[in-house]
Structure 1
Amino acid sequence: MICVECGSAVNHVYRDYGKGNVRLTRCQICHEYADKYIEYEFMLVLLDLILHRHQVYRHLLFNRIDYHESGVDVTLLKLIPAFICFDAYLKWFRLAKYYDESFDSASLATVSSFSSKPYDYHFTLLGCAALEFLLFVLGILMIARLTQRKVDTHFVKYNYLVMAILISTFGRLLIVLMMIWDYDVNFGRVVNIFILTSNITATKVFLDGSGMQASACVLGGYMLRMLVPIAMYLANRSFIMFIL
């Protein structure tokens, strides 16, 4: 366990004196409460996630999740299919909006080599979303490994970096609002920007590095992810390539 304020290691974050008498412990280094989120309700934790608080990522990564020598927590793994499905839905939504607003059925036939509209190929969009997510995570891991200073003795557990990325991608679940209400396609771009900034915050917290290093990791992962829509566009010009 660690102190969420300064990141120093602590033996425990609270003491249980029995009969419901629980007291938070203070960090010996910064003298603040080691983990104030122990007493927070879920909505307050979520609010701090939205606000990009460094402390909440330390709480979730090191004090809330059970220690993993290797591998990723099962609860976080269960979120991956949801992230991929929501990303695929956003792709479908953008393509549907673009073609329905820009082309009639006759002109669409001259643009697309498919027998139907490009956004009717749901499994193709789902596969693209899954591959993009995989490349994004791999890109962050590779850049993080390259940017680690050789003189730095800090040992990086990359499985925890993956978990930090998964936690900070929680904003993808906001796409469900587009399914309930008739939001404009620009809402998806706002969500994507929010996710990227959350990824940068989580990467910075875990690597305990600079904002520039974290930004380089996330943007590097995003550039690697963009290889998928570029390849789809080159293979068939009917798949419009969207940035963000």
Structure 2
Amino acid sequence: MKKFTCIECGRGAEELYRDFGGGNLKISHCDHCEQVVDKYVEFDPVLVLLDALLHKPQAYRHILLNSGIQFHWRLAVICLLCDAYIKWAHLKSADTTDTQHHMGFYALEWDFYIMFLLATTELAVFLGCCMLLLQFSRKALLSPSVRFSSVVRALLLSSFGKLLVIPAVIWGETNSTVYLGLTQLFVFTCNSLAMRVTLDSRQDVSCGLVALCLLVQYLTSLSLHKLLHIPT
């Protein structure tokens, strides 16, 4: 099994570049498409992020298959905090009780911690559903070279769009249905592209997989809201 992946054609590659010593490097070319295996090894991370925002598969292949980035769990915690804040803000907007909003009050606001647990449960259901679907259709969707840990990593890293909640907080748009809907749509498209790249599958297959997992997550969320008597 080859260690790297050509970002242009998706085929395996032995190396991204060759080091001749003394700071002399030569970028490797793919044996199949004859393009540069990974042009992003020379790019600034900001440019890579911009291409990821533009949904370029090459950028996703670099990030998910060639870069070796391992901070996905830390990113997941930050995204969970963003999710919890939006849920908490929605809950507070439905509460007519006038309270003083300051940092000490936020720290003692137990509802926020409940929302964090709810967001964590929803993420666990989403990932668990994806793993079950891949397990049941392992021969059709999951090649022997793809591990479940790689799929989880891809889904967590491609959920970076949830950080768009931060400007929503700054602009006071935490209750904007349009803004939050567009954010969720962006995360959906990012997750779908990440699955397409990781599984090397068709776009409709990856979109269907993510959509089904999100549906299960949504139904679970509704059930938990009713169980805990939380306004939806």
Please give the range of the TM-score, normalised by the shorter of the 2 chains: 0.7 to 0.9
**What RMSD, in angstroms, separates the aligned Cα atoms of the two structures?**
2.3
- After superposition, the C-alpha distances for 1:46-102 in whole angstroms (9 at most, x for unaligned) are 011111111122112221117xxxxxx4x21222211111100111222333x26xx
- After superposition, the C-alpha distances for 1:184-239 in whole angstroms (9 at most, x for unaligned) are 523222111100110000001111111221112111211221233212332255x2
Give how far 1:129 is off.
0.3
Tell me, in whole angstroms, the C-alpha distance in 2 between the residues paired with 1:147 and 1:60.
Answer: 26
Give how far 1:37 is off.
0.5
| DSSP-derived class of the 2:34 partner | coil
Structure 2 residue aligned with 1:214: 206
Specify every segment of 5 or more residues in structure 1 that has no aligned partner in the other structure, as ranges.
Answer: 67-72, 106-118
| DSSP-derived class of the 1:4 partner | coil
Counterpart code for 2:196 = K
Aligned pair partner of 1:63 in 66, 69, 73 = 66
Distance 1:191 1:145, change over 3 A: same
Tell me, in whole angstroms, the C-alpha distance in 2 between the residues paired with 1:222 and 1:4.
Answer: 28
Structure 1 residue aligned with 2:197: 205
Structure 2 residue aligned with 1:123: 113
Whether the 8 Å contact between 2:142 and 2:199 is mirrored in structure 1 is: no
Counterpart code for 1:93 = A
Whether the 8 Å contact between 2:134 and 2:142 is mirrored in structure 1 is: no
Instruction: Count residues in correspondence.
Output: 216
Distance 1:211 1:145, change over 3 A: farther
Q: Under a length normalisation based on structure 1, what TM-score does the superposition of the two structures give?
A: 0.80
Give how far 1:43 is off.
1.0
How do residues 50-129 of structure 1 correspond to structure 2 at under 5 angstroms? 50-65=53-68, 73=70, 75-97=71-93, 99=94, 104=96, 121-129=111-119
| DSSP-derived class of the 2:18 partner | strand
| DSSP-derived class of the 2:12 partner | coil
Q: Under a length normalisation based on structure 2, what TM-score does the superposition of the two structures give?
A: 0.84
Give how far 1:120 is off.
6.2
Alignment pair present for 1:145 and 2:135:
yes
Structure 2 residue aligned with 1:37: 40
Aligned pair partner of 1:14 in 17, 31, 38 = 17
Tell me, in whole angstroms, the C-alpha distance in 1 between the residues paired with 2:72 and 2:82.
Answer: 16
Tell me, in whole angstroms, the C-alpha distance in 2 between the residues paired with 1:53 and 1:143.
Answer: 26
**Percent of residue pairs bearing the same amino acid type:** 28
Structure 1 residue aligned with 2:176: 185
Alignment pair present for 1:47 and 2:43:
no
Structure 2 residue aligned with 1:69: none
| DSSP-derived class of the 2:5 partner | coil
Residues 17-26 or 159-168, more deviating: 17-26
Distance 1:77 1:120, change over 3 A: closer
Structure 2 residue aligned with 1:167: 157
Aligned pair partner of 2:7 in 1, 4, 22 = 4
Specify every segment of 5 or more residues in structure 2 that has no aligned partner in the other structure, as ranges.
Answer: 98-108
Give how far 1:35 is off.
0.3
Give how far 1:148 is off.
4.2
Tell me, in whole angstroms, the C-alpha distance in 1 between the residues paired with 2:203 and 2:166.
Answer: 30
